[in-house]
């Protein structure tokens, strides 16, 4: 029994050491975070410019393209959240401001390039007219009863 517990403890400590050695330097280094952040940001901005060319060539691919950009932005936001412990508060605020700017740019592009859905009451209006006509035909007017 004691031998099993020792093996389990040893395997857990080995797993913890491996995960700490592989992830700690990458997350604790602000310079590596800055390079990853700038690379992801430039990638998102290049996707923004690509969306204009995609609009002229194949507009049906815009919606999945915008979903991919949104996923990239959320991935970037998650990266900031994971590394906010190691970053100065001013940098975190500036990175979050950058994220909101990217989201605003995405919303603007969606508004400009994707067609808006038109909303109308065409179906409801016809059904209401039909019901009002049926009610008028069934009512008895005082002139007819005399």
pLDDT at 73: 95
Total structural domains within the chain: 1
Contacts by 5-12 with C-beta closer than 8 Å and gap 24+?
none
pLDDT of 31-48, one tens digit each? 889 999 999 999 999 999
Which has the higher per-residue pLDDT, 7 or 109?
109
Q: Is residue 143 part of a domain?
A: no
Residues 6+ apart with CB under 8 A from 41: 76, 98, 102
Residue-averaged pLDDT of the chain = 79
Q: Which residue has the tokens 């004691």?
A: 2
Q: Is residue 119 part of a domain?
A: yes
**81, 83, 62, 85: which is closest to 73 by C-alpha?**
81
Query: For residue 26, what pLDDT band results from cuts at 50, 70 and 90?
Result: very low
Q: Is 129 helix (H, G, I), strand (E, B) or coil?
A: helix
Tell me which residue range forms the domain holding 29: 2-138
**Two tokens, residue 72:** 């990239």
Q: Give this prediction's pTM.
A: 0.60
pLDDT at 70: 94
CATH at 108: 1.20.58.1250
User: Contact 114/63 with Cβ under 8 angstroms?
Assistant: yes
In this prediction, residues 131-140 reach a mean pLDDT of 58
């Amino acid at each position: 029994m004691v031998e099993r517990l020792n093996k389990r403890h040893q395997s857990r400590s080995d797993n913890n050491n491996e995960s700490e050695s592989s992830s700690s330097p990458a997350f604790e280094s602000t310079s590596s975070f800055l390079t990853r952040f700038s690379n992801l940001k430039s990638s998102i901005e290049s996707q923004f410019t690509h969306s204009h060319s995609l609009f002229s060539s194949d507009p049906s691919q815009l919606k999945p393209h915008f979903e991919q950009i949104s996923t990239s932005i959320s991935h970037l936001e998650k990266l900031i959240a994971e590394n906010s412990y190691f970053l100065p508060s001013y940098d975190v605020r500036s990175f979050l401001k950058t994220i909101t700017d990217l989201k605003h740019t995405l919303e603007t592009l969606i508004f400009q390039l994707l067609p808006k859905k038109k909303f109308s009451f065409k179906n409801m209006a016809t059904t209401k007219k039909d019901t009002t006509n049926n009610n008028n035909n069934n009512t008895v007017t005082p002139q007819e009863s005399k």
